[in-house]
A and B are shown apart, each in its own frame.
Chain A
Amino acid sequence: MITVERLTKTYGGFRAVDDVSFTAQPGRVTGFLGPNGAGKTTTMRVMVGLTPPTAGTVTINGRGYHDIPNPGRQVGVLLDASAQHAGRTGREILTVGAKTMGLPLARVDEMLAMVSLSDTESGRRLRNYSLGMKQRLGIAHALLGDPSVLILDEPANGLDPAGIRWMRSLLKGYADRGGTVLLSSHLLHEVELIADEMILIGNGTIVAQGDKASLMAMDGNVSVLASSLDDQALAAALTQRGFSVSPEAQGLRVACAPEEVGRAALEAGVVLTELRSGAAGLEDLFLELTASTQREGNIERTEGAQA
Chain B
Amino acid sequence: MSTGTSAGETPAPEAPSHRTALDLGDPERRIPLGRLVGVELRKTADTRAGRWLLGIIVGITAAIMVVFFLIADADDRLFGNFIGVAATPQGFVLPVLGILLVTSEWGQRTAMVTFALEPSRTRVIGAKVIAALIWGLGAFVAAIVIAAVVTLLGGAADGFAGLDVSVFVLFLGLQLLTILQGLAYGLIFLNTPAAIVTFFVAPVASQLIFNLVPALRDPAPWLDLATAQQALFTSFGPGGAGLSGEEYAQLGTTALIWIVLPFVAGWIRVMRAELK
CB pair A106–B274 under 8 Å, yes or no, is: no
Q: B15 near A148 (CB under 8 angstroms)?
A: yes
Asked if A124 lies at the interface with its beta carbon under 8 angstroms from chain B, I say no
A80 near B: Cβ within 8 Å?
Answer: yes
A96 touches B46 (CB 8 A): yes
CB contacts under 8 Å to A, within B7-55, are 8-10, 12-18, 20, 22-25, 27-31, 35-36, 38-39, 42-43, 46-49
Closest to A65 in B: B119
Q: Is the CB of B109 within 8 A of A179?
A: no
Query: In the complex, which residue of chain A has the Cβ closest to the Cβ of B36?
Result: A100
Contacts of B31 in A (CB 8 A): 69-70, 100-102
- Residues A92 and B46 in contact in the complex (CB < 8 Å), given A45-B275, A143-B17: yes
Interface pair A80/B112, CB less than 8 Å apart: yes
A contact residues, range: 35 or more
User: Once the chains are docked, how many angstroms separate the CA of A96 from the CA of B105?
Assistant: 13
Tell me whether B115 is interfacial, beta carbon within 8 Å: yes
Interface residues of A in 128-152 (CB under 8 A from B): 141, 143, 145-148
Q: Which residues of A contact B48 (CB under 8 A)?
A: 87
Is the beta-carbon distance between B119 and A148 smaller than 8 angstroms? no
Residues of B within 8 A of A79 (CB): 112, 116
A103 at the A/B interface (Cβ < 8 Å)?
yes
Determine how close the nearest CB of chain B comes to the CB of A17; give it in whole angstroms.
13
Q: Is the CB of A74 within 8 A of B12?
A: yes
Interface status of B108 (Cβ within 8 A of chain A): yes
Contact present for B18 and A143 (CB under 8 Å):
yes
Check: A66 CB closer than 8 A to any chain B CB: yes
Contacts of B119 in A (CB 8 A): 48-49, 65-66, 68, 71
Q: Which residue of B lies closest to A59 (CB)?
A: B10
B215 within 8 A of A: no
Q: Which one of A87, A141, A147, A175 has the highest number of Cβ atoms from chain B below 10 Å of its Cβ?
A: A87
Q: Besides the contacts A147-B17, A176-B16, what 20 more A-B pairs have beta carbons closer than 8 Å? A: A26-B13, A50-B112, A50-B274, A70-B30, A72-B116, A73-B24, A73-B25, A74-B12, A79-B116, A80-B112, A83-B110, A83-B113, A96-B42, A100-B39, A103-B25, A110-B18, A143-B17, A146-B18, A148-B13, A175-B16
Q: How far does the alpha carbon of A240 sit from the alpha carbon of B47 in the complex, in Å?
A: 78
| 7 A-B pairs closest in CB distance | A62-B10, A179-B16, A73-B27, A177-B16, A87-B47, A83-B109, A69-B30
In the assembled complex, how far is the CB of residue A147 from the closest CB belonging to chain B, in whole angstroms?
A: 6
CB <8 Å contact, B275 and A84:
no
User: B46 to A72, Cβ gap below 8 A?
Assistant: no
Majority SS at the chain A contact face: loop
List the A side residues contacting B166 at CB < 8 Å. none
B120 at the interface (CB under 8 A from A): yes
Q: Is A102 touching B35 in the complex (CB atoms < 8 A)? A: yes
Helix, strand, loop or mixed for chain B's interface?
loop
Q: Looking across the interface, which residue of chain A has its beta carbon closest to that of B107?
A: A85
Q: Does B218 contact A (CB under 8 A)?
A: no
- Give the chain B neighbours of A88 by CB distance below 8 A: 46-47
Does A86 count as interface, using CB distance less than 8 angstroms? yes
Contact B109 A100 (CB under 8 A): no
- The answer to whether A62 touches B275, judged by C-beta atoms less than 8 angstroms apart, is no
Whole-angstrom distance between the Cβ of B124 and the nearest chain A Cβ? 10
Which residues of A sit under 8 angstroms from B35, Cβ to Cβ? 99-100, 102
Which residues from 1 to 37 on chain A have a C-beta closer than 8 Å to any C-beta of chain B? 1, 26
Q: When A175-B16, A178-B13 are in contact, do A146 and B24 touch as well, CB less than 8 Å?
A: yes
Interface pairs (28), CB distance under 8 Å: A50-B112, A51-B274, A51-B275, A52-B274, A61-B12, A62-B8, A70-B30, A71-B117, A72-B117, A74-B12, A74-B27, A76-B17, A83-B109, A84-B108, A84-B110, A85-B104, A87-B49, A95-B42, A96-B46, A99-B35, A100-B118, A104-B24, A110-B20, A110-B22, A143-B17, A147-B15, A147-B17, A179-B17
Check if B244 is an interface residue, CB within 8 A of chain A: no
**A63 pairs with B9, CB closer than 8 A:** yes
B24 / chain A contacts, CB cutoff of 8 Å: 73, 103-104, 107, 145-146
Q: Answer whether residue A77 sits at the interface, using C-beta atoms and an 8 A cutoff.
A: yes
Q: Nearest-CB distance from A82 to chain B (Å)?
A: 7
